[in-house]
Amino acid sequence: MALGNLLTEPATPENISTARAIVPDIGLPYEGFSGTIAQMLRPFPQYSSVTDVYGNVARSNYHSLQITVDQRQFHGLTLSFNYTLSRTEDDLSVRSGYNREPDWAVGTNDQPHVLNAIVVYDLPFGGEGQPGSANPLVRAIASGWQISGITQFRSGRPLGPIEAACNLPSAGTCYADFNPDFSGSVRINGDYGDGDVLGVNPPSYINRDAFVSPASFTYGNTSRTLAHDLRNPSFYNQDLSVRRDFRIGGGVKLMIGAEVFNVFNTVVFGDIQTNITNESFGQVGRQVNTPRVVQVKARIQF
């Protein structure tokens, strides 16, 4: 990038001579070349772009602590709990293919905390040896019911890269600079704040003043991911199921029940705009989970 504006100039003898005063060892890649100085310096200057389809050039690293606790059925109760504490690092996407090392960072799929809990409970009423078993009405109404639920939590994935406007001819992607004069909270509306994301002027959750566009022919100094420790919102979800089995006879069984997905109608936001030149910078793009869904079911097994 030391050649600056010369990179966008045609590779004429005069311009090459000027460029050699800065980088002495450059020259025409082959006779008859007619592109720009930037194109002249590319590994395969005869092509406008090159895609490395099968090159094993990226690296990744994953470490985790995993805990699983299971309780087999005991007095009608079954439990399963698992938790993962992890960290993922990689250089799977980089701002420049010429130097991958600076973009080794927390992976775009990094989720430090993942928790899942499952509960299944057979209600203790009306069955053999259970309260109400001697009462035909209780047996008819209360026996055979099962309640189950699933709770899920996942940390938000890293936000990034923070993109900006700059000039990098044929040399990669521009990231923003950290604003050296910035002080304060980068989250200007709390963690991910309050506000109507569907309104005319939805709130921004990231302070635009925390970043600046870098000078032309420079890449910017923000990390590829997790600038200012920014992450997408975390994911929460609870599902609930209620069912009952009826034995009809002759090996035939009727099952009825209801299922509620996203019981508390929790909203998970995502698609946060990360380009500081965009008027929507820092704003949530959409809801990334499904609103509450209720379904009733019946099934005959034979």
pLDDT tens digits in sequence order for the chain, 302 residues long: 677 788 888 888 888 888 888 888 888 888 888 888 888 888 888 887 777 776 778 889 999 999 999 999 998 899 999 999 999 999 988 888 777 888 899 999 999 999 999 999 998 876 676 676 677 777 777 778 899 999 999 999 999 889 998 877 777 788 999 999 998 889 887 665 566 665 667 778 899 999 999 988 888 899 999 999 999 989 999 999 999 988 888 788 889 999 999 999 998 888 889 999 999 899 888 888 999 999 999 999 88
Strand 145-154 relative to strand 235-249, pairing: antiparallel
Strand 235-249 relative to strand 252-261, pairing: antiparallel
**Three-class DSSP category at 40:** helix
Backbone angles phi, psi at 141, to 5 degrees: -95, -40
Please answer whether residues 22 and 3 qualify as being in contact, where contact means their C-beta atoms are separated by less than 8 angstroms.
Answer: yes
Instruction: Give Rg (Cα) of the chain.
Output: 30
Report CA-CA distances (Å) from 264 to 107, 261, 268, 290: 31, 9, 12, 12
pLDDT at site 60 = 93
Domain ranges of the chain: 1-51, 52-301
Q: What is the DSSP string of 161-220?
A: --B-----TTS---BPEE-TT--S-S-BTBSS--S-TTSSSPPPSS-GGGEEPPPTT---
